[in-house]
Amino acid sequence: MAITTGDGLVAGARPRESFQKATGTMEAAGVFHSLLYAAGRPGAGVAPTPGLAGAALTTYAGQMPFTNPTGGALSYLTRLFANAGIAGSLMVCDRLWHNSGIVVTTTTAQTVNSVAWPARDRDGTTAGADVLVALEVSTATTNGAAVTNMSLSYTDDGGNAGAVANANLPNFPATAAVGTFVPFSLAAGDTGVRSIQSVTLGTSLVAGVVHLVAYRILAEIPVPLANIPVLEDAIALGVPQLWDNTVPWLVWMPTATTTTQVFGSLAYSQG
């Protein structure tokens, strides 16, 4: 079944889930920062360890709480409230897959051949519609300059192999701090990633630990002024559907590197 009316959203409303995360010192203004490793509520997650082929996720420590509905009901994100000590933007994402084992000193292609995503792309399948990929840092790197030649070989959501994505949103930064989250820009015309064949760092990161993460953006909310909260309801969010076993987690785009608190809440409706 599906919720098709405002009354249905109200009837299916679940208790809100609050979050409060201490970011630590972030990499730079305009560089995404994964809050998975940040202390607070939910508690900090640990670095992934499944190897290069990665693991499809149905739950993970550090995610926002999510419980599947019963009786064939569906889930929707219906409310997002956010505030922070500095201006920025907050994304709620579904973490579909992540990996480990990338050798940070290897500059040539490293084979990934990712396991299949869980069936949670835009259409609730494994095809990869709207699935994006980023490189996430769990132990700080020590490269002395930004890396401008990092790339990803992937199969797109239409099943076309051999596509190339580049990490230039922005380029992977020098001495990337824990939590640094750098998305890959897909090849022209592509709208999602079905699988990853290899990653090429291009330049040594010298030290540190990094992971590829496949994810789908569920919602975004601007926080244009420090300490001024913002609220978006179901209509403003576009009533995004959350498939069973969604792994919601938070990604922050700061306007300054200053350590801050990012806090707020989200709510679901099921029916």
> Which pLDDT score, from 0 to 100, does residue 227 have?
97
With 80 as the cut, is the pLDDT of residue 1 above it? no
Average pLDDT over residues 129-156: 98
Domain extent listing, the chain: 33-270
With 80 as the cut, is the pLDDT of residue 245 above it? yes
Size (the chain), residues: 271
Q: Calculate what percentage of the chain has a pLDDT beyond 90.
A: 97
Taking all residues of the chain, what is their mean pLDDT, rounded to a whole number? 97
> Which pLDDT score, from 0 to 100, does residue 169 have?
86
Give the pLDDT band of residue 39 (cuts 50, 70, 90).
Answer: very high
With 90 as the cut, is the pLDDT of residue 173 above it? yes
> Which pLDDT score, from 0 to 100, does residue 242 have?
98
> Which pLDDT score, from 0 to 100, does residue 137 have?
98
Tell how many helices (H) and how many strands (E) occur in the chain: 2, 17
Average pLDDT over residues 35-53: 98
Is residue 178 a contact partner of residue 37, using CB atoms and an 8 Å limit? yes
* Closest alpha carbon to 41 in 268, 262, 267, 269: 262
For residue 65 the two structure tokens come to 């709480």
Model confidence, pTM = 0.97
Average pLDDT over residues 92-108: 98
Average pLDDT over residues 167-178: 95
> Which pLDDT score, from 0 to 100, does residue 258 have?
93
- 3-state SS class at 159: coil
Summarize pLDDT for 200-227 with one digit per residue, the tens: 999 999 999 999 999 999 999 999 999 9
> Which pLDDT score, from 0 to 100, does residue 25 have?
95
